[in-house]
Amino acid sequence: MRRDKSRGKVTARTVHIEMRCRWEYLILAVLLLAVLAQMTEAAQANRARRRLRNGNVRKLATNRSQAVAKTARSRQAVRRGTSVAKKTSPSKASKTATPAKIQSKIVGGTTTTISTAPYLVQVRRGTSLCGGSLISTLWVLSAGHCVKGQTASSFLVRGGTTTLDGSDGVVRSVVFTAVAPRFTTTKMNMDASLLKLNETMTGTNIATISMGSFVPKAGSRVRIAGWGLTSEGGSTSRTLRATQITVVRQRVCSQDYGRLATITKYMFCARGKKKDSCSGDSGGAVTRDSTLLGIVSFGYGCARSGYPGVYTAVARIRTWANRIMSNN
């Protein structure tokens, strides 16, 4: 009897607990519903915001694709604008160097001597100027857009020179060129080229640099150097300039460029406060310690806050470069 009673009590308590549980479930369910409703609202608001952002990007994108399309043309103009003769008339130079275009592009640097970058060479074609890096005594690594569509014999490579005029350097002609297979001027993907010299380049302040096997991490510092424009639409530098910039997270750079450019795995981005590469620096070296990590490729304008410079990741084109060098 007693046992039964107690059992009954127990049962009753159990039922009570079960009921309380169901109430709790109910309350929980209601709360969940409320949270869900809130989340849906937030998601909708977010979507609206995202749509808005997309809308902005799309607007920019139209201009951007135009800019990119134009770039192929204007870049050449810009590069031609970065002529050696040009520096005699800076006003003309600033007219020729079109503003706010994708530019193969050192802004905000300090003058230095070639002894601080003995691997850096000038790659010249007529009055146009690009940079390059001696990755062996016979081979120069430069940008694809500096070489594509041009004959090897139209280039002259000058090494061991601090000055733009290069009177102090060693000159070599080019006997063979190769452009990275995926490079196109519209996408600027895999912006790399190789130039084979007619004979080995050696001498005072001339040295080779080895290609890095890693893409520099976001937040890390790299060095850029060149004789390119010292401001957007400005004139080329009579002496070599160099500066330090910081690598930008890939995703951030992709967002910065939106549809203006697709930031691929063959690229990395880097920026500095009012520091950047600019026209005439294309093809030049991005280094850390004595390793070549990047090739100056492009950017929207020069040193514009929203647009970091874009560089070809040497680690990603290394296999291609090694193959070309061993086969030619």
Q: Does 65 interact with ligand NAG (rule: CB under 6 A)? A: no
Name the nearest CA neighbour of 301 among 110, 87, 98. 98
Q: Does 150 interact with ligand NAG (rule: CB under 6 A)? A: no
Name the nearest CA neighbour of 158 among 217, 118, 106. 118
Q: Does 151 interact with ligand NAG (rule: CB under 6 A)? A: no
- Six token digits for residue 48: 């609206």
How near is the Cβ of 31 to ligand NAG at its closest, in Å?
44
> 238 and 164 in contact (C-beta within 8 Å)?
yes
Give the strand pairing for 291-298 and 210-211. Answer: parallel
Q: Does 69 interact with ligand NAG (rule: CB under 6 A)? A: no
Q: Does 59 interact with ligand NAG (rule: CB under 6 A)? A: yes
Q: Does 49 interact with ligand NAG (rule: CB under 6 A)? A: no
Chosen residue from 72, 77, 152, 171 binding ligand NAG by CB under 6 A: 171
Chosen residue from 54, 150, 154, 173 binding ligand NAG by CB under 6 A: 173
C-alpha–C-alpha distance, residues 226 and 241, integer Å: 6
Decide if 145 is catalytic: yes
Name the nearest CA neighbour of 322 among 222, 223, 192. 192
Residue 87 phi/psi, 5-degree rounding, is: -65, -15
Q: Is the dihedral of CA 289, 290, 291, 292 positive or negative?
A: positive
Cα angle for residues 137, 138, 142 (degrees, 5° grid) = 100
158 vs 275 by CB, closer to ligand NAG: 158
- 74, 128, 142, 145: the catalytic one is 145
Q: Does 199 interact with ligand NAG (rule: CB under 6 A)? A: yes
The contact pattern for ligand NAG, residues 2-41, with x = CB under 6 A and - = no contact, is ----------------------------------------
> 262 and 189 in contact (C-beta within 8 Å)?
yes
Name the nearest CA neighbour of 237 among 248, 226, 245. 226
C-alpha–C-alpha distance, residues 310 and 24, integer Å: 57
Decide if 231 is catalytic: no
Chosen residue from 54, 112, 136, 198 binding ligand NAG by CB under 6 A: 198
268 vs 307 by CB, closer to ligand NAG: 307
Q: Does 203 interact with ligand NAG (rule: CB under 6 A)? A: no
Number of residues that bind ligand NAG (CB under 6 A): 8
- Six token digits for residue 17: 């607990």
How near is the Cβ of 120 to ligand NAG at its closest, in Å?
18
Which among 27-35, 56-64, 79-87, 213-221 is the span making contact with ligand NAG, rule CB under 6 A? 56-64
CB within 8 A of 48, min separation 6: which ones?
A: none
Which among 23-31, 143-151, 171-179, 304-312 is the span making contact with ligand NAG, rule CB under 6 A? 171-179
Q: Which residues are catalytic?
A: 145, 191, 282
Which residues of the chain form contacts with ligand NAG (CB under 6 A)?
59-60, 63, 171-173, 198-199
